[in-house]
Structure formats: C-alpha cells, structure tokens
Amino acid sequence: MSWPKRILIGLGLGVGLLIVLVLVISSWAPGGPASQAVAMTVGDRTLTVAGHYKEMRQESLPGGLRVIVDKHQITVENSQLTTDGKVQVLEPGQDVVAWVHEDGRLEIKFVRADAASPSPPAE
C-alpha cells in the first residue's frame, strides 16, 4: 500500500470517529423543553414572562398590556394585575415575574424594581 493511500484511509477513519463522537455527545444533551424569558415594560413596571411555555402573544391596551401565555391570560393596567381573572393591586415600584412551570402551572412573583431578578422557582 502506498503512503498517500494510507494517509487518506487514516483521515477517513479520523473523520468517521469525529462524527460518531459528535452524535454520542448530542444524544446525552437534555431533551426537555428549553426555558425562555421575555421582559416587557408597561409604564414604569416590568412584566417578565419566563419558564417553559410553547406560545406567547401580547396585545397593547390603553394604559396597559395583555399577555396570553399558553392558556393563561395576564393583564397589567395602571396599578392593577389580572391573572386568569384574579385581580391584584400593584404597589409603586413593584415589577411582576410570571413563571410557567413545565406542567403548565403559572406562578406570579412580585419584585421591587431595584431588586435583582429572582431565580426560577424550585420544581
């Protein structure tokens, strides 16, 4: 066998092993849905929608914003938050974090505007 032929065979085997290695590593990657986050400003407040959701829509309202995340509806108007029909009054400087769990539950957290962003809730 000539030297150029041996070199080509060696390179072919090396590329084949590299492809197999990439396929094995990619099969070990976590296969769950990725967590995502979107922050929206409503007046002087920030509404952050984060977690494991499939679909999100937002609609502008006079003086507020309506966000529909999967099957949940979140509305922020002036100093009022409505989540799936439940009304809550927001304090001045209070931001809202809506976390969607993998099983579809919605969890609402309130944070001060000057506080650091909260970590995802424990599953």
Q: Are strands 94-100 and 45-51 parallel, antiparallel or unpaired?
A: parallel
Query: Does the pLDDT at position 35 exceed 60?
Result: yes
SS3 for 14?
A: helix
Number of helices (H), then strands (E), belonging to the chain: the values are 1, 9
Euclidean distance between CA atoms 104 and 98, whole angstroms? 12
User: Which of 115 and 101 is assigned the larger pLDDT?
Assistant: 101
Give pLDDT tens digits for 50-101: 998 888 999 988 888 999 998 899 999 888 999 999 999 988 888 999 999 9
Q: pTM of this prediction?
A: 0.64
Query: Which residues make Cβ contacts (< 8 Å) with residue 73, sequence separation at least 6?
Result: 66, 67, 82, 83, 84, 85
d(CA 39, CA 87): 21
